[in-house]
Every structure is written in C-alpha cells, then in structure tokens.
Amino acid sequence: MAKYQEQQLRIYNSLSGKKEKFIPINEGHVGMYVCGPTVYSNVHLGNCRTFMSFDMIFRYLKHLDYKVRYVRNITDAGHLEDDADEGEDKIAKKARLEQIEPMEVVQRYTVDFHNILQKFNFLPPSIEPTATGHIIEQIEIIKEILENGYAYEINGSVYFDVVKFNETHEYGKLSGRKLEDMISNTRELTAQDEKRNPQDFALWKKAEPQHIMRWPSPWGDGFPGWHLECTAMSTKYLGETFDIHGGGMDLKFPHHECEIAQSEASHGNSPVKYWMHANMLTMNGKKMAKSTGNNILPDEIFSGENDILSKPFAPSVVRFFMMQAHYTSILDLSNEALLASEKGYHRLMDAIVLIDGLTSSKTSSIDLPAWKQKCYDAMNDDFNTPVLIAVLFEGVKFINQIKEDKAQVSETDLKILSDTMNQFVFDVLGLESTTQLNASSDKLGGVVALLIQLRNEARANKDFATSDKIRDELADMGIQLMDGKEGTTFSIT
C-alpha cells in the first residue's frame, strides 16, 4: 500500500486562500512546476530558501510514494530589467557590461546555481528546461493567443491584451487584484509606448539591431517575454492542467497572474490546481537587497567571509535553520538565530548517531507508533516542518532516555524510532550529518579513541591536569568528549 493512501495531505492553495485536501489529477502521480532562477548573477540566499522549500515538498511527495515529475526551469532569456517591458533583458545587460556572450553569462551562473544547490543537498528536479531551448513552443503559444484574439502585434512585438481578456476571464484572481483598480491607479500612457494599456504585457519583443539575443519569428527577429517560458514549458512537460505550481511570493504578481492568463487565452484551461508560494527571507529584520548592502551569498556563509555573521555555518545548519520556519512565513536571518539553530542541529544529529547503539527491551514505555504518526500529521498539514522538527526533538529525548535506561522500547518500536528519525531527518528534510565519524570506521575516530583511553587512564590516576588538557584541547579543535554511563563518546562540532 502506498503511503499516500494512508496519509491525507493538505496544501494551502494561494488561489483559494485556503488549505485544501491534496488530490492529484492522476492518482499516484504528481506534476509540479517551480519557477527557477534567472541566471544573470550569483544565486542569492532568498532564492535558495524558495527552492529549498520546494525541494522539501518534492522529497515529502516522493516519501509518500507519489511518482513526481518535478520541473524547475532556468530562465536564460526574456527577463527584462523592469516590468514595464521597456527595460533591457537582464542577461543581455550583464553580457554587455562584462563584454561576454549572453550564453557565457548563462553558463557561469547556471554552474554557480547548481554548485550551491548541491552544497545544500538538493535533489535534482526531474526536468530542468531552459527558456532558450523552448523558443519554438513559445512562438506556437503566441500564435494561439493571437488567433483567439487576446493579443495584438505592433511593430514586430506582440502584446497580451489584458483588457480584452478580462472581459471574459478574471485577470487578477490569483493576486486578489481588480483590473479596474489597477487602471485607475495608473498614469497616462507615454506617447512612445506601443501597448494599448499599461497592464498589457509582452509576449514577444522586437530585437533592435544592436540586440545580440534574437530569434526569428513570424513577427520578425526578437525574443520572448518573460512570463511565456513558464507557460510553454509547464504545458509541454506537465500538460495543460497540472497539480502544483510553485514559486516565490514575489512572483505571484504579475508573473503567475500572467501565466494563468496565457494558458487560459491559448488552450482555454486554467493551468494549475494548487498554487503554492514560498515567503521571503529577510536579514536582521530588513529585506535582502544588493543595493542596501543587506545581502549575503551562500558561499559567504559557508566560508565565514562576511561582515554579518560571527563564524562560518555549514550548509546543513542553514538548511535546518530554514526548515525550522514554515515555508509560508517570512523568515529572518541573523547571527543569533543561526547560532541557536546550529546547537539544535547538533543535538539532533548527536542523538541519531546514538540510535544504532541502543538496546531493546521486552516492552515499551513510550508509544512510538503514535509518535510516528505525529511526524506525518505535521507534514500532512501543509508541510509544517517546524512542527515536524518539534516532534523529532521528542524522538531525540526518547533516544537519550533509552540510552540512560530511563525509558524502554521493544525491538519493533526501536526500529520504528530508528526508521522514522532517519527518514524524516535525511530523506524528507534533506539534512546531512556532519558527525559521522566513529571509532570503528575512521582513522580520526581511532586517534580520538586512543586519546580517550589515555585520558581515562590519567583520570584513574587522578592526574586531572593531563585529563583536562586532553579534553580541553580536543574541544578547541572542535571535538567534544562526552562522558556517559557506558563510557566516553565524542562528536565533531
């Protein structure tokens, strides 16, 4: 029996504003599309949080035995500097500034993106398509929208006619905006603007002669609008209507609103059953922005080379920190918060290392099956990772109590404890252990075991100067000794 048949997942749907039962279109299968990065600079930490949220969601869906097709695109063309559709393409601008080919920009920052995600232990998506690889599909959609009368061509560019669309459809239903309000809040069109209305958006932009990113089309050489690629690629790989579409909260309007409009205007179907939006990451209470200097790159956190944090933090610690907040909440990054998470993370990992050494009893003094279900209940409630982590810390307490003989578990229950801890910590949350050394399998572990032995001999001889020297100097190196009833163990901090 597949796990999804036993667990009822509920998802907060941005479109309805409510938590809804998750029922996929095709039983046992999930199609999920997430708007990926525009690769014109190093991926920033806020982007990582969004993608990490959907990585966790991907992992849990897989854990529930769904067959998931997860599509996350790379935007390598068409994302303009401002949404007035008058700015320069972000990648073309970067290429011009650095005097390199646009595809060099794309390559450089795609590699960076993948490197960072790998450090954060992301699962690769099923398909990672690029905008430039789907120009033909985008042109086909534009043709359909033109045929259906929801777009117009002018001077080699094609614009989506939002006003016309809104006469028969509801533009703004995702973001809660009303077209009338938007129009009344907008100034007069400037004389040179080609658009009929300021709300219209570009499907295809004519390439000026100096433009290096250009493709032929029925309307002349040009390049596609930013919103179109996601419609083209999600339709191609997931169908006209699919289960989950995700992205950052900041993409809700206009990007996702435009995607809905494009789908409905081309093939007539609403594209997505469950819209999911991950919330923003702030730092020290303020939004992260390069312009204000309130910004940090993932590698700067890992290396400690920054002016904001007191020490380096491992990718898994940052991941744990992010998982301690719900994906729909704003999360504030600070030195204190990271330090606190790091300690909690080590407590969790240290407990997991102990599981294999635990001994079972005839009966259990704690209810492990009920505890296991609490883990699922947390995740079934719109992927509530902070509550899951709280339940996992109950597991940590159980592990330590069993080790100290203050609780007993049967062999069956011990397996539940072990399997559940491992599955949720590593498979679902995607954390990695940094304390995997142990005395039997590792040279360093053997060296530490020898030092522990020497220290215990010194203690037996009441030579506490020597024993404390060993303990304290190992601690300075990041190896902490822990004296327990069963002898001394250690962990790497």
Partner RNA sequence: GGCAUCGUGGCCGAGUGGCUAGGCACAGCUCUGCAAAAGCUUGUACAGCGGUUCGAAUCCGCUCGAUGCCUCCA
Site residues (vs RNA, CB under 7 A) = 17, 83-84, 175-177, 181-182, 185-187, 198, 249-250, 252-254, 279-280, 282, 285-287, 289, 324-326, 328-332, 334, 336-337, 339-341, 343-344, 347, 350, 381-382, 384, 386-387, 389-390, 393-394, 396-397, 400-401, 403-404, 406, 459, 464, 467-468, 471, 480-485
The label of the residue with tokens 């990054």 reads 333
Identity of the residue, 208 or 457, whose beta carbon is nearer to RNA in the bound complex: 457
CA distance 330 to 149: 40
Q: In what order do the strands lie in the sheet with 331-333?
A: 286-287, 281-283, 331-333
CB of 342 to RNA, least distance (A): 8
- The residues that bridge with 157 in the sheet, in sequence order, are 154
CB of 338 to RNA, least distance (A): 9
Pairs from 464-472 (Cβ < 8 Å, separation ≥ 24): none
What are phi and psi for residue 37, nearest 5 degrees? Answer: -85, 155
**Residue 219, Cβ neighbours under 10 Å: how many?**
20
Phi-psi region of 132 (alpha: psi -120 to 50; beta: other; left: phi over 0): alpha
- Residue closest to 230 by CA, chosen among 278, 180, 266: 266
CB of 243 to RNA, least distance (A): 22
CB of 137 to RNA, least distance (A): 25
Identity of the residue, 106 or 399, whose beta carbon is nearer to RNA in the bound complex: 399
Identity of the residue, 65 or 332, whose beta carbon is nearer to RNA in the bound complex: 332
CB of 481 to RNA, least distance (A): 6
User: Which are the contacts of 63, defined by CB distance < 8 A and separation ≥ 6?
Assistant: 3, 423, 427, 428
Indicate the residue type of 6.
E
Identity of the residue, 13 or 217, whose beta carbon is nearer to RNA in the bound complex: 13
Q: Check: CB of residue 242 under 8 Å from CB of residue 25.
A: yes
CB of 287 to RNA, least distance (A): 2
Identity of the residue, 134 or 403, whose beta carbon is nearer to RNA in the bound complex: 403
User: Which are the contacts of 124, defined by CB distance < 8 A and separation ≥ 6?
Assistant: none
Q: Is 145 helix (H, G, I), strand (E, B) or coil?
A: helix
Identity of the residue, 337 or 358, whose beta carbon is nearer to RNA in the bound complex: 337
Identity of the residue, 311 or 406, whose beta carbon is nearer to RNA in the bound complex: 406
CB of 415 to RNA, least distance (A): 21
